[in-house]
């Protein structure tokens, strides 16, 4: 589970990646977080823990997931060759189970009785509900009312798996408010429950833990790409909301001479409230116990956000992403709702793969790169972080079956 060499010494002992991250929490959370941190430091070096996690990944999750050459799509776009790391084939349909099974195993080690978390698009909620069922634990998931209405298939999956789904009814009723509600509930009983955050965000040690559990994506993708092509990709890309799938993928290539691109949701445009492009338009601030780039209103409070992808509409972003942006190692770009919708249908129609709307942002970026230089022979590896089953009703209702999106 150890990250690549240049990441092995990050964060520092206070949880900072450069000037981002840290622990900014009420006093009543300091001791529970210290206990989680100490427990993780022990189990992450435990042979028995690592062996059990490997067994779970292989026999329960179905890892490794394949890396796939999107040959038909690539041919239609020119000389750029697009490859997909198929996290949509991970059990439950997304990358989220990678850290949820690790968090569930940690909870069992710590003697906790309940897993508690937020969810946006529902994929983290489904994954954590799956982990709770696997380990025989209770599970409470907080989800914004807007997202509950938008993501009905995942709501049903969570309920079938036995979780208690609790609506977040304040504010914009989306992901930020779900995190607010989950953290508040966690503070009420940290003795018996563990907060299993859904991304590389939150106070230390969560950004580090989730990155380490997700690093398997980058490790596999790097090995698979080398086996398939004999070379490393020219560009590695992934969508970024909080940033868990991207950080897992990027960790595998961070020491290599490859370009790394994060793709944020531009939504409907650059006006505050129309997008969730935190790295592009945000400034330094504190949210949910950590320092990061943050979309803010005139008073400095977390600003309103929007994305067609419920899993990306968060006003903050993982602190390690912030550090990688400032260092220049990773370049952060944007894709609009319109771009993501086109990519959703184009990949479906040309490769028989229906991507999650979150992942569609990264696919859109790969398509844009190919169109910008159709005569340049290069390779782009996309982390296809999830499948689009959850989005199909929403997409058909608003955009039809995709007949207008033909290359």
Long-range pairs of 370-376 with CB within 8 A, sequence gap ≥ 24: 370/74, 370/77, 370/78, 370/80, 370/82, 371/77, 371/78, 373/78, 373/80, 374/77, 374/78, 374/79, 374/80, 375/78, 375/79, 376/78, 376/79, 376/80
Active site residue 331: no
Using DSSP, state whether 181 is helix, strand or coil.
Answer: helix
Given strand 16-17, what is the order of strands in its sheet?
Answer: 16-17, 20-21, 290-294, 283-287
The tokens 């060499």 sit on which residue?
5
Of 199, 276, 310, 385, which is the active-site residue? 385
Identify the active-site residue in 96, 114, 150, 176. Answer: 96
Q: What token pair was written down for 199?
A: 């991304």
Cα of first residue to Cα of last residue in the chain, in angstroms, is 41
6 classed as catalytic: no
- Separation of CA 243 from chain center: 5
Active-site entry in 87, 118, 177, 320: 118
In sequence order, the 6+-apart residues with CB closer than 8 A to the CB of 355 are 88, 343, 344, 347, 348, 363, 384, 386, 387, 388
Q: Is 78 exposed, middle or buried (0-12, 13-18, 19+ CB in 10 A)?
A: middle
Tell me how far the alpha carbon of residue 182 is from its chain's centroid: 18
**Structural element, H or E, at residue 33:** helix 27-43
Q: Which two tokens stand for residue 17?
A: 């990646």
Concerning whether 385 is annotated as a catalytic residue, the answer is yes
Report the DSSP beta bridge partners of residue 293: 284
Q: What are the residue numbers of the active site?
A: 96, 118, 385
């Amino acid at each position: 589970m150890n990250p690549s060499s240049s990441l092995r010494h990050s964060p520092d002992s206070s949880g900072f990646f450069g000037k981002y991250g840290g622990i900014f929490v009420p006093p009543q959370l300091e001791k529970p977080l210290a206990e989680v941190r100490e427990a993780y430091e022990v189990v992450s070096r435990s042979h028995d823990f690592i062996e059990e996690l490997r067994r779970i990944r292989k026999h329960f999750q179905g890892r490794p997931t394949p890396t796939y050459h999107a040959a038909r799509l690539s041919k239609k776009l020119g000389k750029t060759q697009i490859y997909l790391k198929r996290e949509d084939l991970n059990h439950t349909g997304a990358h989220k189970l990678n850290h949820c099974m690790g968090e569930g195993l940690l909870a069992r080690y710590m003697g906790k009785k309940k897993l508690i978390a937020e969810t946006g698009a529902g994929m983290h909620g489904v994954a954590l509900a799956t982990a709770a069922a696997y380990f025989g634990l209770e599970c409470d998931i907080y989800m914004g009312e807007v997202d509950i209405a938008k993501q009905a298939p995942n709501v049903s999956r969570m309920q079938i798996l036995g979780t208690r789904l609790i609506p977040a009814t304040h504010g914009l009723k989306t992901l930020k408010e779900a995190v607010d509600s989950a953290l508040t509930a966690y503070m009420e009983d940290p003795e018996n429950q563990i907060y299993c955050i859904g991304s590389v965000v939150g106070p230390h040690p969560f950004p580090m833990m989730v990155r380490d559990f997700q690093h398997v994506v980058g490790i596999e993708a790097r090995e698979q790409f080398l086996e398939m092509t004999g070379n490393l990709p020219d560009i590695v890309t992934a969508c970024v909301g909080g940033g868990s799938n991207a950080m897992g993928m990027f960790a595998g290539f961070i020491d290599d001479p490859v370009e790394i691109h994060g793709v944020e949701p531009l939504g409907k445009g650059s006006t505050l409230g129309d997008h969730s492009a935190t790295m592009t338009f945000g400034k330094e601030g504190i949210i949910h116990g950590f320092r990061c780039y943050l979309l803010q209103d005139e008073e400095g409070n977390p600003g309103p956000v929007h994305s067609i992808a419920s899993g990306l509409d968060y006003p903050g972003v993982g602190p390690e992403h912030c550090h990688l942006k400032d260092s220049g190692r990773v370049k952060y770009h944007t894709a609009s709702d319109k771009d993501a919708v086109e990519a959703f249908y184009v990949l479906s129609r040309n490769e028989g793969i229906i991507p999650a709307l979150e992942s569609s942002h990264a696919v859109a970026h790969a398509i844009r790169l190919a169109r910008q230089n159709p005569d340049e022979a290069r390779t782009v590896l996309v982390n296809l972080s999830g499948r689009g089953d959850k989005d199909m009703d929403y997409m058909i209702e608003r955009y039809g079956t995709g007949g207008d999106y033909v290359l």
